[in-house]
Amino acid sequence: AQSVSQHNHHVILSEAASLELGCNYSYGGTVNLFWYVQYPGQHLQLLLKYFSGDPLVKGIKGFEAEFIKSKFSFNLRKPSVQWSDTAEYFCAVNVKTGRRALTFGSGTRLQVQP
Amino acid sequence: DVKVTQSSRYLVKRTGEKVFLECVQDMDHENMFWYRQDPGLGLRLIYFSYDVKMKEKGDIPEGYSVSREKKERFSLILESASTNQTSMYLCASSSPTGDGFFNQPQHFGDGTRLSIL
């Protein structure tokens, strides 16, 4: 069965710092990959997704992620974070065979200090 | 805009009670999901449904059941609540794709924080 690992559980950055959150998945076949974000007190919402094509995908609010198939990774990046990016970030994977629902990682809590 | 509504934001129940969590979506989505969210564990899938009266077990179905009698409504049932079911419960919905993936974005409700005493 597929799994998703997010190794950074809690990240603290100052405003304007660059961000990279790691996401690795374990599945050898075709995957769809997602990043979701949960702002304090709000519901989860989609940040960006990768289905096929250009491995560098851009999402909302200046976020981007790069799919590196050889490394089974889909890391999230942002060049300059803002205090409003304080949230919990979840990576998720979907595969075509086996279970047909998303598998989520354990999440990374990002705290941006002004 | 898609709206997924969970009936309660906060709920307190006692051990042994039968608990019903309700979720309604207004976008005519075929797929609906129940997750529980625990610190350090992320979201774990309990059950999902891809059509009325159809359901599949997720990763942690033990102690739970579901009901989908109407397309817009997906209920999670805790048959006999226990303290280890204290958690945040999230409902989500999505539209299907024809290629075997469930890759349409999932729309989430605000969650129900359930405490079992």
Which chain A residue shows the shortest CA-CA distance from B48?
A101
**A24 reaches B (C-beta below 8 A):** no
The residue-averaged pLDDT of A21-43 equals: 91
Using a CB-CB cut-off of 8 Å, the residues of chain B touching A39 are none
Give the residue carrying structure tokens 């998945």: A25
Is B45 within 8 Å of A49 when comparing Cβ atoms?
Answer: no
In this complex, the residue of A9, A51, A107 whose CB is nearest that of residue B103 is A51
Residue B5 has pLDDT above 80, yes or no: yes
Q: Which residues lie across from A15 on neighbouring strands?
A: none
What CATH code is assigned to A3-113? 2.60.40.10
Confidence band of A29 (pLDDT split at 50, 70, 90): confident
Which tens digit of pLDDT belongs to each residue from A45-98? 999 999 889 999 999 999 999 999 999 999 999 999 999 999 999 999 987 666
Among A88-92, B10-14, B94-98, which stretch is predicted with the lowest mean pLDDT?
Answer: B94-98
CATH class entry, domain B4-96+106-116: mainly beta
Q: How far is B94 from chain A (nearest CA, A)?
A: 10
Backbone CA torsion sign across B37, B38, B39, B44: negative
Instruction: Report how far Cα B93 is from the mean position of its chain's Cα atoms.
Output: 9
Task: Domain ranges for chain B, please list them.
Answer: 4-96+106-116
Residue B26 has pLDDT above 70, yes or no: yes
Q: Which residues lie across from A67 on neighbouring strands?
A: A74
**A52 reaches B (C-beta below 8 A):** no
Structure tokens at A57: 């995908």
> Number of Cβ pairs closer than 8 Å across A and B?
62
Q: Kindly report the backbone phi and psi dihedral angles of residue B98, in degrees, each rounded to the nearest multiple of 5, phi listed first.
A: -90, 5
Instruction: Decide: helix, strand or coil at residue B65.
Output: strand
Of B56, B88, B49, B52, nearest in space to A44 by CA: B88
A107 within 8 A of A7, measured Cβ to Cβ: no
Give me the percent of chain A exceeding a pLDDT of 70: 96
Give the residue carrying structure tokens 């290629």: B99
Side-chain-side CA neighbours of B31 within 13 Å: the count stands at 22
Residue B112 has pLDDT above 60, yes or no: yes
